Structure 1
């Protein structure tokens, strides 16, 4: 980056937002984190030069919030696939309402850049081929994926009608230190926690489901590159992943190799919303953003094991 910019990270106290905040701080940018969670005293993020705004997304004054901001990062999303399916109407109001409120504020202001994190793991649905390019049809089979895909459509609409600089990162399956495994997200991180605690690893189905797992440090570098590039010609949608696939059984095997012992695994019935394969084609991001993943699956697992053992809430960013 050639000059200091102000970045507003909505949902910036979460797993991805915290890491992006530190990545931007290392580039001497001004950071504002808006989240319903305020870091406690002693939190690493609170000790840095970060401004915090306690934010209720449902009552936010978006015009005031974005008035002095160059780049808005939207990381806040209140649901996961299971909870969105259980309450699709609530998911619609909670997430798309927020997205549209923010877009309207940007439209009224007439300038600013928005970076939105979508879900490369859910918006495509059952794919015809893999790796999946960005132009693949969107056919989500969960309310969560439908919500993310709809948000993308609105961003595209505001980009086309009003010239808003909306950019979309379709993330695969990030993992790493500080990921909240209580909500049932992050197979790699969840499996590591359970293995280190001596608990059973729970797998839905036979473990053959293949996903694209990407270390959080690579995600951060991609998101900052997407926020930083001055102009994007054509589509502003980018897949962000490793470009490689690993099954749930592969994760267990890698953990057993690195930990040097057999792990206890419990297998449940398969879930209907788990598509068999999801691997992202990341060639567009490599070409346009001059970005590519630098952490291999084995190294990412090793780093996450070490981070969790040390009690780290953030992974070292390369």
Structure 2
């Protein structure tokens, strides 16, 4: 089957999307906010569905926001005017999901099924893009980089939940003809991520650095992950949303396609500060996959998408944004003056 023509792309792979009406479920998180801003920038209508009220810092001009618990969302009254649903709502990480798998299924997979049921009742009028976990659904990969054809074999409750969600999406696609797409995302990072939440190695390590606390690593530091800068991730997710998927290809890996060990990541971060980072190595954890790198050749070929921001550049951009935020906070609270704070966090003086 012939592929649809690729979207026109601008600086660093940004797609010029068709105008449309979008719902973002989980639109107050890191990914949801980033996608919402891009859609609004391009003139799209955006409705954000959030489980809890968001602070002013995450609201965006032009977006409507619905606050409701997942059991209370009235999908029948929301869906019909919209073209695309972006699904990012997920309230666990591998560690927390392992602690209560049943609760993880109740709070994460069940709400997705309720949405799919609502979509089934009104018919295939809009498409849904579910953001899965490229780092956990494959388990211990047999092939590196790991392609989309690799069996789903998660070794964490978090990965099992994401895999279960994928299977339900496939069920509704096959039986009811819903347009369900899956983006298996690598480890996103970048400006806008709340480093205090402790989600993802880069976020956790940066929080430790700015707190001047030791960085904790589980194992010997040779665990390898695929890290993708937020701008590249947004471009990839929107490319999945915009493409005309074929019956056989509706799942795409979205990552950098390159692996980086935790020790190498520490070395990159060391270059950003003028003090010696302290690293504590702790016993390894059984649920940590030793290596996870995504094969992104399908996305390159069928979506006309590829990442543009390398790890060292992305880390520097992220670090600088956080540093400026720290400066603003220090000045606002009269803790220090700007020049002193800049020296402490290794930023050049203002000319």
TM-score (norm 2): 0.85
The 5 Å alignment of 1:207-222 reads 207-222=221-236
Structure 2 SS opposite 1:89: helix
Residues 56-95 of structure 1 aligned to structure 2 (within 5 Å): 56-95=69-108
Once the two structures are TM-superposed, the CA of residue 34 in structure 1 deviates from its matched residue by: 0.8
Which of 27, 32, 38 does residue 17 from structure 1 map onto? 32
Which residue of structure 1 aligns with residue 168 of structure 2? 154
Q: Does the CA-based 8 Å contact 2:17-2:242 persist in structure 1?
A: no
Q: List alignment gaps of at least 5 residues for structure 1.
A: 313-318
Q: 1: distance between equivalents of 2:38 and 2:20?
A: 13
Residue aligned with 2:216, SS: strand
Aligned partner of 1:316 in structure 2 is: none
Partner of 2:198: 184
Q: Check whether the contact 1:70–1:113 (CA below 8 A) recurs between aligned residues.
A: yes
Supply the distance in 2 between the matched residues of 1:2 and 1:151 (Cα, whole angstroms).
27
**TM superposition shift of 1:183:** 4.3
CA distance, structure 2, for counterparts of residue 80 and residue 181 of structure 1: 14
Candidates 240, 257, 263, aligned match of 1:249 = 263
In the alignment, structure 1 residue 40 sits paired with structure 2 residue 55: yes
Among residues 67, 79, 93, which one is paired with 1:54 in the alignment?
67
The partner residue of 1:108 within 90, 115, 121 is: 121
Deviates more, 1:303-312 or 1:166-175: 303-312
Is residue 293 from structure 1 mapped to residue 321 from structure 2 by the alignment?
A: no
Kept in 2, the 8 Å contact 1:58–1:94? The answer is: no
Task: Assess if the C-alpha contact under 8 Å between 2:196 and 2:207 holds in 1.
Answer: no
Q: In the superposition, relative to structure 1, how do residues 47 and 130 fare at CA in structure 2: closer, same or farther (>3 Å)?
A: closer
Correspondences of 1:228-247 after superposition (within 5 Å): 228-247=242-261
1:235-283 Cα shifts (integer Å, max 9, x gaps): 2000010000001111111111232432011111111100110000000
What CA distance in whole angstroms lies between the structure 1 residues aligned with 2:63 and 2:73?
20
Aligned CA distance change for structure 1 residues 188 and 104 (closer, same or farther; 3 Å): same
**1:47: how far off?**
4.5
Aligned-residue CA RMSD (Å): 1.5
* 1:245-284 → structure 2 map (5 Å cutoff): 245-284=259-298
Q: Structure 1 residues 207-216 or 223-232, which shifts more?
A: 223-232
Contact 1:202 1:265 (C-alpha < 8 Å) held by counterparts: yes
The answer to whether residue 207 in structure 2 is matched with residue 193 in structure 1 is yes
Matches within 5 A, 1:100-139: 100-111=113-124, 112-139=126-153
Partner of 1:27: 42
CA distance change for structure 1 residues 230 and 207 in 2, over 3 Å: closer, same or farther? same
- Check conservation: 2:47, 2:64, Cα contact below 8 A: yes
Could you say what secondary structure the match of 1:156 adopts? helix
Whether contact under 8 Å (2:98, 2:157) holds in the other structure is: yes
Larger gyration radius, structure 1 or structure 2: 2
Q: Hey, what's the Cα distance between the residues in 2 that align with 1:190 and 1:307?
A: 16
Residues 68 and 96 (structure 1), Cα distance of their counterparts in 2 relative to 1, 3 Å cut: same
